[in-house]
């Protein structure tokens, strides 16, 4: 169908991807964005853009599908690209994950650059326009949404439309808007993590971090972690993180001291040997929230919610943008699969499954921190015990490291870590001492969470033996023992050659 008019609320990552998908199915797509988006500065509506934004490979490949040439365009605009685990470093459980080929590409850049490229490409799609205006509510009833009310520079008005997509982010008012038109509001799942970020840019000098492009250090038992990524303008973007109210300070001395307390010293070395560019900027994130639209008995047609408005993840696991991309793909599939009758029901059912995987990964990692408030079952404990072994095995076994990263990047399902051959390696190699059981910073430990769907390991392993685990000799060309476990006290970088 290329007729009709769709309206997207919010020009963040989810809104742009949704608009791109809708442009293939509607004659006109109007994006309403509250902020002015003329400059490439961080906007008021996206304060998280001041902090490290990693794009998981599943997100990158979907974006590449929607915007062919995206990865090379990002590189032309100054992003760094690297093969994950070869061009970048990952520490989980206090030890470095074995450097090996993963088949994953990291596109490393600031969030404003990423958003700017996606915005330009989206606005080049047929029929798409961006208008400055803040959505105020829905017009319709419990069966159908017919319009949206918007306040813009020239006052308030009503925009009639065939479809409204709410991509207004974590602060979405969809539940209140639905209640106001007599529809049901979704239940919410929530965890209390009280996460604090503090971020700063530094000038990069050649040779730092062995010329690799990023280092991610997962949160340890003290709930502290961090990342440093090489972004456009030859700068380091450094983010420090602390959970459960233990937030990194914003003064230079405190920032450096905090960096010294995370479980590897690479980031500390960068912040103490580089020239700072600008001030330290804080961000507080209290709780991941998932809105269970897929559980509603009845959802109005003509209204969809996606991105952070649907599920806002703990940012430590870098899932938000990739899951927004998966949701955009699900929207595309729903539109291709049939007419728009019961689009809402079909969409929520599809995205519910997508979100399940990422949510279980993240919630599992969060709940491995004793202080996080949330429901813990025997299954959570068993899963986290297994995950601790995955961590230990990933330090010494490139085959485990590869699958671990691929799961963390949402490229393979969590059950991949339970394939019998891999499970044997994990159980054998993951028994040794060394490192500690960790939660996470960024995707390294998202994998750690492998929600694993709560099924007994053997059952999942059998069900997934056909998903293509590679024999050890195929992976990275290194024998499993070649990387060697490093004692946790040894923080010297491994002698790997960077890819760029
Ligand atoms: C500190 C932090 C770090 C993060 N790090 C990562 C990371 O490393 N990797 C990753 O993948 N994800 C990360 N995320 C999550 C990521 O930012 C989001 O998941 C992703 O941007 C998708 O969000 P969105 O587009 O749904 O919402 P947003 O990006 O929040 O965009 C919402 C947009 O809607 C606009 N808007 C709001 N209200 C209205 C209204 N009423 N009318 C019109 N427009 C409106 C806003 O101005 C904004 O432009 C992080 C989040 C935080 C908080």
Residue with CA at minimum distance from ligand 1 atom 1: 48
The pairing of beta strand 163-166 with beta strand 5-9: parallel
C-alpha 320 – ligand 1 centre gap (Å): 8
101-120: pLDDT as tens digits:
999 999 999 999 999 999 99
pLDDT at residue 478 in the model: 29
Greatest CA span in the chain, whole angstroms? 67
Arithmetic mean of pLDDT, 439-464: 29
C-alpha 280 – ligand 1 centre gap (Å): 20
Q: Which residue has the higher pLDDT, 178 or 486?
A: 178
Residue with CA at minimum distance from ligand 1 atom 53: 48
Which residues pair with residue 8 across a beta bridge? Answer: 31, 165
Closest ligand 1 atom, residue 35 Cα: 47
Arithmetic mean of pLDDT, 80-99: 94
pLDDT at residue 473 in the model: 28
220-258: pLDDT as tens digits:
889 999 999 999 999 999 999 999 999 999 999 999 999
pLDDT value at 441 more than 50: no
- Cβ of 58 closer than 6 Å to ligand 1, yes or no, is no
446 three-class SS = helix
pLDDT at residue 381 in the model: 86
pLDDT at residue 260 in the model: 97
Distance between CA atoms of 239 and 223, rounded to whole angstroms?
Answer: 14
Q: What are phi and psi of 333, to 5 degrees?
A: -60, -40
pLDDT at residue 443 in the model: 36
466-488: pLDDT as tens digits:
222 222 222 222 222 222 222 22
pLDDT at residue 258 in the model: 98
DSSP 375: -
Instruction: Go through 5-25 and write b for each residue having 16 or more CB atoms within 10 A of its CB, e for each that does not.
Output: bbbbbbbbbbbbbbbbbbbbb
pLDDT at residue 189 in the model: 95
pLDDT at residue 370 in the model: 87
pLDDT value at 452 more than 50: no
C-alpha 13 – ligand 1 centre gap (Å): 7
Q: Which of 184, 437, 408 is nearest to 303 (CA)?
A: 184
Is domain 195-285 in CATH 3.40.50.2300, yes or no? no
Closest ligand 1 atom, residue 306 Cα: 26
Q: Measured at the alpha carbon of residue 173, what is the angle toward residues 171 and 177, in degrees to the nearest 5?
A: 175
Q: What is the DSSP string of 83-131?
A: ETTTTEEEEETTEEPPP---S-EEEE--HHHHHHHHHHHHHTSTTEEEE
Arithmetic mean of pLDDT, 338-345: 85
26-52: pLDDT as tens digits:
999 999 999 998 777 898 999 999 999
Arithmetic mean of pLDDT, 162-189: 98
| Confidence bin at 434 (pLDDT 50/70/90) | low
Strand order in the sheet with 88-92: 95-96, 88-92, 214-217, 224-231, 235-242, 195-203, 276-285
The pairing of beta strand 224-231 with beta strand 214-217: antiparallel
- Cβ of 46 closer than 6 Å to ligand 1, yes or no, is yes
496 three-class SS = coil
CA 315 and chain centroid, separation? 7
C-alpha 11 – ligand 1 centre gap (Å): 9
Arithmetic mean of pLDDT, 317-331: 98
Best probe residue, ligand 1, of 168, 214, 444 (max atoms within 8 Å of C-beta): 168
| Confidence bin at 433 (pLDDT 50/70/90) | low
- Cβ of 289 closer than 6 Å to ligand 1, yes or no, is no
115-163: pLDDT as tens digits:
999 999 999 999 999 999 999 999 999 999 999 999 998 899 999 999 9
Task: Give percent of the chain above pLDDT 70.
Answer: 86
- Lowest-pLDDT choice from 385-389, 435-439, 496-500: 496-500
Best probe residue, ligand 1, of 308, 324, 445 (max atoms within 8 Å of C-beta): 308
Helix (H) or strand (E) holding 159, with range, is: strand 155-160
190-201: pLDDT as tens digits:
999 999 999 999
pLDDT at residue 477 in the model: 28
How confident is the prediction for the chain on average, in pLDDT? 86
* CATH code for the domain defined by 5-53+110-189+289-358: 3.50.50.60
What does the domain layout of the chain look like in residue ranges?
5-53+110-189+289-358, 195-285
Q: Measured at the alpha carbon of residue 440, what is the angle toward residues 434 and 446, in degrees to the nearest 5?
A: 110
475 three-class SS = coil
Best probe residue, ligand 1, of 31, 42, 53, 149 (max atoms within 8 Å of C-beta): 53
Arithmetic mean of pLDDT, 410-429: 96
pLDDT at residue 475 in the model: 26
Where on the phi/psi map is residue 211: left (φ > 0), alpha (ψ -120 to 50), or beta?
left
pTM, rounded to two decimals:
0.88
pLDDT value at 435 more than 70: no
Q: What is the DSSP string of 379-420?
A: HHHHHHHHHHHHHHHHHH-HHHHHHHHHHHTTSS-GGGGGSH
- Cβ of 34 closer than 6 Å to ligand 1, yes or no, is yes
């Amino acid at each position: 169908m290329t007729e009709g008019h769709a309206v997207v609320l919010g020009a963040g990552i989810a809104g742009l991807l949704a608009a791109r998908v809708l442009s293939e199915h509607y004659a006109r797509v109007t994006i309403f964005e509250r902020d002015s988006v003329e400059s490439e500065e961080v906007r008021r509506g996206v304060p998280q853009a001041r902090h490290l934004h990693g794009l998981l490979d599943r997100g990158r490949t979907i974006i590449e599908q929607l915007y062919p040439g995206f990865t090379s365009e990002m590189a032309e605009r100054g992003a760094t690209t690297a093969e994950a685990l070869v061009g970048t470093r990952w520490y989980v459980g206090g030890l470095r994950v074995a450097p090996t080929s993963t088949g994953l590409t990291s596109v490393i850049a600031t969030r404003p650059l990423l958003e700017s490229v996606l915005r330009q490409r989206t606005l080049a799609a047929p029929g798409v326009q961006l208008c400055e205006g803040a959505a105020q509510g829905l017009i319709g009833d419990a069966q159908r949404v017919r319009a949206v009310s918007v306040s813009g520079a020239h006052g308030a008005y009503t925009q009639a439309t065939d479809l409204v997509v709410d991509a207004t982010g974590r602060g979405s008012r969809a539940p209140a808007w639905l209640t106001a038109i007599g529809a049901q509001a979704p239940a919410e799942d929530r965890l209390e993590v009280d996460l604090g970020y503090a971020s700063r840019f530094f000038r990069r000098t050649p040779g730092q971090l062995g010329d690799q492009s990023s280092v991610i250090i997962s949160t340890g038992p003290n709930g502290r972690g961090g990342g440093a990524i090489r972004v456009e303008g030859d700068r380091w973007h450094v983010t420090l993180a602390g959970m459960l109210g233990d937030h990194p300070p914003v003064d230079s001395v405190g920032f450096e001291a905090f960096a010294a307390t995370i479980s590897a010293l690479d980031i500390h070395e960068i912040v103490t040997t580089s020239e700072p560019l600008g001030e330290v900027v804080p961000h507080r994130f209290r709780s991941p929230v998932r809105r269970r639209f897929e559980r509603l008995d009845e959802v109005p047609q003509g209204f969809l919610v996606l991105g952070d408005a649907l599920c806002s993840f703990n940012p430590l696991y870098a899932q938000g943008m990739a899951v927004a991309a998966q949701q955009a793909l699900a929207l595309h599939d729903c539109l291709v699969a049939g007419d728009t009758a019961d689009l809402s029901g079909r969409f929520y059912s599809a995205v519910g499954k997508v979100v399940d995987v990422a949510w279980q990964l993240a919630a599992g990692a969060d709940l491995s921190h004793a202080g996080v408030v949330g429901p813990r079952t025997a299954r959570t404990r068993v899963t986290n015990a297994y995950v601790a072994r995955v961590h230990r095995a990933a330090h010494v076994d490139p085959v485990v490291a590869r699958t671990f990263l691929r799961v963390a990047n949402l490229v393979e399902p969590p059950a991949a870590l339970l394939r019998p051959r891999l499970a044997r390696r994990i159980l054998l190699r993951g028994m040794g001492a060394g490192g500690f059981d960790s939660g996470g910073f960024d995707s390294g430990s998202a994998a750690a969470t492998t929600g694993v769907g709560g099924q007994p390991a053997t059952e999942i392993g059998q069900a997934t033996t056909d998903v293509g685990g590679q024999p050890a000799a195929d992976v990275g060309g290194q024998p499993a023992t070649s990387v060697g476990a490093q004692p946790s006290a040894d923080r010297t970088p491994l002698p790997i050659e960077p890819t760029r």
